[in-house]
A = this chain, B = another copy of it.
Amino acid sequence: MRIKPVKIDTYRENVLFLRKDSELCRAQGFAALEKVEVTCGDKTLVGVLDVVDEHFLGHGEIGLCEYAFKRFGMPAGTEVEVRHPEPVRSVELIRRKIHGEVLKAEDYRYIIRDIVESRYSKVELTAFVVACAQGSMERDEILYLCQAMVEQGEQLAWGREMVVDKHCIGGVPGNRTTLIVVPIVAAYGLAIPKTSSRAITSPAGTADTMEVLTNVNLTLPQMQEIVERESGCLAWGGAFSLSPADDIIIAVERPLNIDAPGQMIASILSKKKAAGATHVLIDIPVGPTAKVPTYDRAVQLRKLFEYVGERMGMTLEIMLTDGTQPIGRGVGPALEARDVLQVLRNDPAAPKDLMEKGLDLAGRVIEFHPAVKGGYGRSLAQEILQSGRAYDKLMRIVKAQGEHAPVEPGRLVKEALAAKAGRVTRIENLKIAKCAKLAGAPVDAGAGIDLLRKVGDEVKAGEPLYRIHAEEEADLGYAWDYWQRHPEMVTIE
């Protein structure tokens, strides 16, 4: 048969198309959802079959979706053999994991290799993710998963003995400390070549916020050059193939909104290892509406991080931080960038909680350096911030990466008012995040929520609690409706 590209974006799944009336479907019993193998010489591709009618394909043609066509790498019209593939061996391992078995290092290696080679269907991939999320993974299994993920991707090298990094497990809106930590640490002189993600389920990822100010799509040589000169940079990690299995796994975790400890730890540490980090600070916010609700759970998580991190050959520091409410005021890329710049400019209007947390984290990262006495990192960080060197450093990095006019907060605004007088006692992270997303964040970088009152603040009846920013009237309406239906987002007592 001859291959034909079919311009459908299947999100990292190899989908192949055969005509309903084709010989293969009629006589050989190929049916929708089955696996099909396409071969040409030593090139092989396994995908899931969709059956189509005659409008899509000519006789003797097999369609390959965009992703599959690119992976196969042969021109349209190439003659191929089509057959039922040997079953993917590692699917048997997933079945064993479902039945509660503890898998071995080589088992995870097989599974991750098959994931990276796109041999799994969405069904198989989901089965793996759920089986690992539900049955507790042994801590050695987390390690094996992490190692396999690193092995199956690129690894960055920086030619430095110490490369530091920081990572927050997420769940707290507005928590954009990375843009404060990176310039402070880089100004101190430690190498911090930061790769960050875009938002997955949140209203802004670090890469989204940095993109408000500058280009974040860097090549490896560009990053290397900038780090050489400035010690730090802040690029979008998706441009590199660090732990590619993780990117594929996230595609099914996202719609399920699950983020099990084992996979989370393997995901974070594999990305850090692949990015060449030697010393990593992990920030675990704890709070009733954060990812980790109690300190007991946070300590469990800390131990898992420590166990796996040490065996991956990295030095880890874990900080349990306050995750009871959003950090800073802005929630959404442009609003968060504004908060960050206020902090770095030592603006008296800067949100104090964001500044304090930024300094705490930066201080701990600086203390990775053997020359710094325990407990002295924070004052070094503070000195760098107050002297304006941190601001200068961020501006130099912004310029080096490709500065552009910053995105401004969305011009459509509507204020949520306090229904009564009192003190703010509770702000729910998840609902603030949801509301900011409905306003358009992160797709519209200017959209989001600007919190005008935080927990502990007094408010009079009718005074604004927060301001919704949007780019589109419809989005402003969605966010407003959500607030109307969820007044418990902000509790006044």
Q: Which of B8, B32, B443 contacts A11 (CB 8 A)?
A: B32
Q: Is the CB of A255 within 8 A of B20?
A: no
Interface residues of A, count at CB 8 A: 48
Interface string of A281-314 (1 = CB under 8 A from B): 0000000000000000000000000000000000
Known: A7-B56, A122-B126, A131-B134. 7 other contacts (CB 8 A): A8-B51, A8-B52, A91-B256, A121-B255, A122-B122, A134-B134, A135-B135
Q: Is the CB of A32 within 8 A of B10?
A: yes
Interface string of A101-129 (1 = CB under 8 A from B): 00000000000000000000111101101
Chain B residues closer than 8 Å to A130, beta-carbon distance? 98, 126-127, 130-131, 134
* Residues in chain A within 8 A of chain B (CB atoms): 7-11, 17, 20, 27-29, 31-35, 50-53, 55-56, 91, 94-95, 98-100, 121-124, 126-127, 129-131, 133-135, 251-252, 255-258, 260, 443, 472
CB of A340, distance to nearest CB on chain B (Å): 24
How long is the Cα–Cα vector from A431 to B10 in the complex, in angstroms? 35
Number of copies: 2
CB of A94, distance to nearest CB on chain B (Å): 7
Q: Is the CB of A257 within 8 A of B56?
A: no
How long is the Cα–Cα vector from A130 to B124 in the complex, in angstroms? 10
Closest to A478 in B: B84
How long is the Cα–Cα vector from A443 to B23 in the complex, in angstroms? 13
Q: Is the CB of A127 within 8 A of B50?
A: no
* Interface pairs A-B: 5 shortest CB-CB: A7-B53, A29-B443, A126-B126, A11-B32, A9-B51
Q: Is the CB of B252 within 8 A of A123?
A: yes
How long is the Cα–Cα vector from A31 to B443 in the complex, in angstroms? 11
Pairs A–B under 8 Å by Cβ, sample size 7: A8-B50, A8-B52, A10-B32, A94-B256, A122-B126, A126-B127, A127-B258
Chain B residues closer than 8 Å to A258, beta-carbon distance? 95, 98, 127
Closest to A34 in B: B255
Chain B residues closer than 8 Å to A255, beta-carbon distance? 33-35, 121, 123-124
How long is the Cα–Cα vector from A126 to B91 in the complex, in angstroms? 14
